Amino acid sequence: MSQPPQRLRIAVAQTPGVPLHAWRATMAGVGELAERAAESADLVLLPECAWPAYWLGSWDDYRECRASGMPSADDFLDLLAAIASRRRVHICAGYVAEEEGELFNRAAILDPHGEILGTYDKTFLWSFDRNWFTPGREIRPIQTAFGPVGLLICADARIPEIAATLVARGARLLLQPTAWVNGGRPDHLWNPQPDFLVPTRARECGVPMASASKCGSEGDTTFVGSSLVCDAHGRKLAVCDTSRPDVAVAEVTLADPRPRRRILRRWRLGPDFTRPPHFEQAARLSVARSRPAVEGTPAAEHASRGTLLCRVAMRSAHGPPAGDISHDIELYGPTESVVGCGRLRLAAIAARQAHHFALARSLALQGIHLLIVFGRARAESLRARAAENRIFVVAVSDAPQAYDPRGLPIDGHAALGDDELLGLTFDPGQAVSKEVAPGTDVFAGRRVDLYEF
């Protein structure tokens, strides 16, 4: 049964990174920040592994701290329960959980009475996470007084199927305890999630999403802060800065998720993955207006309508050796299927199809290097399609855009030819590996048995 829209004030509490051995300071600091956040909110969200630390170093380091008096997560949860019941708020927080000789990267939601409503274990582990955490085994919303809530922890948001599964199972709100790691420079902290992935998840799922991150550092890991709250349209309502502890508060409207899109059932999203072929050859791509052509040909028809075209040319990266064959292809609109240009694999879709993950994901699983999008599409959506699939994405419109497999813009406006609106040379080999961090493959790490659309 559907529930009426409901307003909810969410406070994201951005905590500083603290070394594992300084756990006493962590307990006090997190408690103080949670108290502050609870003053003006219905729900307080704390980061991933707010207790005792995200960077554990090793199992031995964790055991040594426990042996020296560091309490288990039970004491931390008792602290949060006391704050929740005293302030009459819900609290969601991440922590390290011990269970039968294993460690889990876990998050819990507590109600205003201090009772734990449910927990979730991170399923898509990030790089060094794998050295000490066991991945979670279930993806399911947690029932609260304001409806089902979906939890996903940090790198889980890089896998679009996880958020889609939570919403398909009824989640009206997505909460993300996180510890975003710096993917930029030391003097320019950056991570794709607060930049464009989280707003895209909120928009394509049609529910608000809040993320609480750490700032500072733990061990050799630098965090980017940038905690935020997005509404169901992907608009950023409140954002923390990159470098200091803070609390950001925003009011969101909770409503039932939009009806499941048929596109989720139309496209193949199973476990099969064809890796794009690797080859040492550069590709030249241009976006241009159709030129006059011989009457009666398809090109002439497009030219008469002023159609934009995307032209891709493959050339040897080392010059034309004997027997080398160059390949060219011109596209005037969506293909919705994989086509080849020499060894380059590409596909083309319409702009509206780029605003949801499913079709681009299906094509990426079939091994494309390049996705061409015809029409005007949101930059955030295009960047998300590039980063979550580790492919090149080019939008063909009067204001063309191009993005690399990290979701970063590519400048394609230098040395343009006649009638060209965009021109760039790129290395398709960058789209072969799907690793976003050492040991972290966004396709190999998919847990298809846990997903539902």
Q: What is the pLDDT along the chain (453 residues), one digit of tens a residue?
A: 567 779 999 999 999 999 999 999 999 999 999 999 999 999 999 999 999 999 999 999 999 999 999 999 999 999 999 999 999 999 999 999 999 999 999 999 999 999 999 999 999 999 999 999 999 999 999 999 999 999 999 999 999 999 999 999 999 999 999 999 999 999 999 999 999 999 999 999 999 999 999 999 999 999 999 999 999 999 999 999 999 999 999 999 998 776 655 545 556 788 899 999 998 889 999 999 876 554 454 554 544 444 799 999 986 655 544 444 468 999 999 998 999 999 999 999 999 999 999 999 999 999 999 999 999 999 999 999 999 999 999 999 999 999 999 999 999 887 788 889 999 999 999 999 999 999 999 999 999 999 998
Q: How far is CA 336 from CA 126, 151, 225, 313, 351, in A?
A: 32, 32, 38, 20, 12
220 and 324, same domain (yes or no): no
Domain end: 193, 223, 258, which one?
A: 258
Is the same domain home to 301 and 245?
no
19 conformational bin, left if phi > 0, alpha if psi -120 to 50, beta if neither: beta
Structural tokens at position 163: 């958020």
Q: Is residue 226 part of a domain?
A: yes
Confidence at residue 266, expressed as pLDDT on a 0 to 100 scale = 56
First vs last C-alpha separation in the chain: 19
Residues 57 and 174 in one domain: yes
The reply to whether 155 and 196 lie within a common domain is yes
From 227, 258, 289, the end of a domain falls on 258
Q: Is residue 452 part of a domain?
A: no
Same domain, 322 and 430: yes
- Domain range for 79: 6-258
pLDDT computed for residue 416 by the predictor: 87
Residues 165 and 90 in one domain: yes
Residue 451 belongs to a domain: no
Q: Is residue 1 part of a domain?
A: no
How many of the other CB atoms lie within 10 Å of CB of 400? 23
**CATH classification of the domain holding 203:** 3.60.110.10
- Together in a domain, 179 and 57: yes
Strand partners, 344: 341
| Same domain as 326, residue 241 | no
Does residue 363 lie within any of the structural domains? yes
Identify whether residues 353 and 431 lie together within a single domain. yes
The answer to whether residue 264 sits within a structural domain is no
Phi-psi region of 93 (alpha: psi -120 to 50; beta: other; left: phi over 0): beta
Q: For the chain, what is the domain count?
A: 2
Q: Quote the pLDDT of residue 141.
A: 99
* Residue 354 maps to a domain: yes
Q: Are residues 137 and 88 in the same domain?
A: yes
Tell me whether residue 109 is in a domain: yes
Same domain flag for 17 and 82: yes
Domain C-terminal end among 258, 291, 308:
258
Quote the CA–CA distance of 448 and 124 in Å, as a whole number: 12
pTM of the model: 0.94
Query: Where does residue 230 rank: exposed (0-12), middle (13-18), buried (19+ CB within 10 A)?
Result: buried
pLDDT of residue 322: 40
- Shared domain check, 75 and 198: yes
